[in-house]
Every structure is written in structure tokens, then in C-alpha cells.
Amino acid sequence: MSLVIGVTGPSNAGKTTLIEHLTQVLVPENKVVVVKHDPGDKATFDQKGKDSFRFFHSGADVVVVSPGRTTFFSHRRSDLKRVLQIVGDFDYLFVEGLKIWNLPRIGVFRFSVDESYLSYIQAIVVVEDLLNQAQQYNLPTFVNDDTAGILEWINTNGLKID
């Protein structure tokens, strides 16, 4: 069984760091996939002048296959179903951002808990200084270095994909 979980929060809240730490714990025994939202279409592909850059900018979808990786860039917006088709088998899939996808979701906060996120998160991860503030919202709350507790929550509450 595979699990999908959303990780959301304001810029510089620690979303990437949290996903990175969870991945480092999981990867020795699990296949982990991360979907990163790029709301400003800022991500670039390859380097200007290289073949794959030229192909993508010609309007084609591009797949680059090398001995150690496969990279896929498409001009079409994808939904969760499409992403699942592309990535194939996995144990954990973390979606950073993409609040429009209906997923069980962890909110990550570093400076203060932004209440505008509360309507679509089911758990909170904060730096230790915010623990008292975060606990007032009656959601499962974790300090950002509680990897075991966060993973236990994910294993219980993540979207299960067969």
C-alpha cells in the first residue's frame, strides 16, 4: 500500500526541510516520491542551448533518460491521477504545496501559525517556540524534529493508494 500526504505552509516555513528529513529516514527501505508545486512557473529545465532545453522550448514534452535517472517535463498541468501514472510504484509520495489537491495535509509553520491554512490541514508541524500557540487549534501537533511522531501520523492518516 502506498501513502500520499500533502505538506503545506507559507514560504520559508520549513516544508522542504521537513520532507527532506522524512525522506532520509524512509529511503533506505522505501521508494519516496516528491511532487513540488511551482506556482510561478519558475522551474527551468536543463541549460539554455542544450538539446533538452531546445526540445522543451519548441513545445514538446521531454523525457530525458540516463543511467541514473529519468526526468520528465510537460507543458500540461497534471492532477494527482496523472502524477501517479507517471511515477509508478512508490511507498510514500509527498506533495509540497498544491493546496487545490484534496489530500490529507500537514501544515508547517516557523514564525507563527497562519490561521488561513487551518481549513485544509489535519496536523501541524512547528518549531518548538510555537508549540504552545499551535496546540490551541486542537489538531495533532508536532515539533519539526519529531520525525517518528510525524511518520506515525502519516502512516495512520495518509491517503492510501492500492
Model pLDDT, residue 42: 60
Q: Are 93 and 103 in contact (CB under 8 A)?
A: no
Model pLDDT, residue 39: 60
How would you class 141 by CB atoms within 10 Å of its CB: exposed for 0-12, middle for 13-18, buried for 19 or more? buried
Q: Are 96 and 34 in contact (CB under 8 A)?
A: yes
* pTM given for the model: 0.85
Q: Which residues pair with 94 in a beta bridge?
A: 5, 34
Q: Are 3 and 32 in contact (CB under 8 A)?
A: no
Model pLDDT, residue 67: 83
Model pLDDT, residue 154: 98
Strands (E), the chain: 2-8, 32-36, 62-66, 69-73, 92-96, 105-109, 123-126, 141-143, 159-161
Give the CA angle between residues 7, 18, 125 to the nearest 5°: 65
Model pLDDT, residue 150: 98
Between helices 15-26 and 147-157, what is the axis angle to 10°? 80
Model pLDDT, residue 74: 76
Query: For the chain, which residues make up each domain, given as ranges?
Result: 2-41+78-161
Count of CB atoms situated within 10 Å of the CB of 54: 13
Model pLDDT, residue 41: 61
Q: Are 80 and 20 in contact (CB under 8 A)?
A: no
Model pLDDT, residue 62: 79
CATH topology of domain 2-41+78-161: Rossmann fold (3.40.50)
The DSSP bridge pattern shows strands 123-126 and 141-143 to be parallel
Q: What is the pLDDT along the chain (162 residues), one digit of tens a residue?
A: 899 999 999 999 999 999 999 999 999 899 999 887 666 666 666 678 877 788 887 788 777 777 887 777 777 777 788 888 888 899 999 988 878 788 999 999 999 999 999 999 999 999 999 999 999 999 999 999 999 999 999 999 999 998
